[in-house]
Amino acid sequence: MAVALALSWSRGPIDWPIALLCVLAAVAIQLATNLANDYFDFASGADNSNRLGPTRACQAGLLTPRAMRNATVLCLAVAACCGLWLVARGGLPVLVLGAISLTCAVVYTGGPWPLAYHGLGDVFVFVFFGPVAVLTTLYLQGHAPGRVDLLASLLPGAAATALLVVNNLRDIDGDQRVGKNTLAVRVGKRATRLQYALLLAAALLAPMLAAIAGDHAWLALPLLLAPVAAREVHLLGQRSGALLNESLAATARLHAVGCLLLSVGAVL
């Protein structure tokens, strides 16, 4: 979201009420997705006493499944309410994308054909955390998204997907046992580590291409993170099991700092 608002700011004043609604809707959908994942992964048996990742509320007994389900519904309702105002601004395209986003928050791990259980989680995270989030926000700010915007949006999309890749690599053995066929389960550990390297490379190269396409050198600021990214790729190859939580935290920092640098570059 920061990247989208920075790109918008570089073209003129920001419509702050619309920006706030975009942020609230995005946060609510993200929370709903995380809560739904907690609920459905516990119900399916994917979250159990052998879990290696951070504590999840249902699996740890901190919340009942019913409470988790109700919290998910509440977050979806908040997102939908914000979305109604945004639809009034953006029309049918925003209505369609909003409906798809709300649906994906649930069917990512729930429903009769959960996306994450069929190896499609990576695709949806890349698309919705990257191009959809950035380009839709620009559209709602009254700007026509272009090639530079699309290239810039690949950084948050690729970095967010890299986070998912680390998570799935850590859980690959447990997921395989319960039939959660993530992309990592389907392609194996070696290919998953390669996927991580390619995603970080894409996250850093896309802003450089945006800088070239837009003749705006500051957009390439995220390239400063290349040594850190290379180190994380190396460390991912050495780690396994619970140690991958360290890679998860490091990748989250790369995501945050990369988006911050790109945002700063957009307004310089």
**Burial of residue 61, with CB atoms counted within 10 A of its CB: 0-12 exposed, 13-18 middle, 19 or more buried:** exposed
Amino acid at 167: N
Quick one: pLDDT at residue 27? Answer: 94
Quick one: pLDDT at residue 47? Answer: 64
Quick one: pLDDT at residue 137? Answer: 96
Quick one: pLDDT at residue 181? Answer: 93
Quick one: pLDDT at residue 169? Answer: 96
CA dist., res. 46 & res. 211, Å (int): 42
Quick one: pLDDT at residue 51? Answer: 66
CA dist., res. 53 & res. 147, Å (int): 38
pLDDT in tens, the chain (268 residues): 789 999 999 998 999 999 999 999 999 999 999 999 888 888 877 766 666 777 777 877 888 999 999 999 999 999 999 999 999 999 999 999 999 999 999 999 888 899 989 999 999 999 999 999 999 999 999 999 999 999 999 999 999 999 999 999 999 988 888 888 999 999 999 999 999 999 999 999 999 999 999 999 999 999 999 999 999 999 999 999 889 999 999 999 999 999 999 999 999 9
Which of 2, 27, 8, 25 lies closest to 141, judged by CA?
8
Do the Cβ atoms of 124 and 219 come closer than 8 Å? no
Do the Cβ atoms of 171 and 53 come closer than 8 Å? yes
> What residue spans define the domains of the chain?
2-267
Which of 127, 163, 155 lies closest to 222, judged by CA?
155
Task: Report the predicted TM-score, pTM, of the whole model to 2 decimal places.
Answer: 0.94
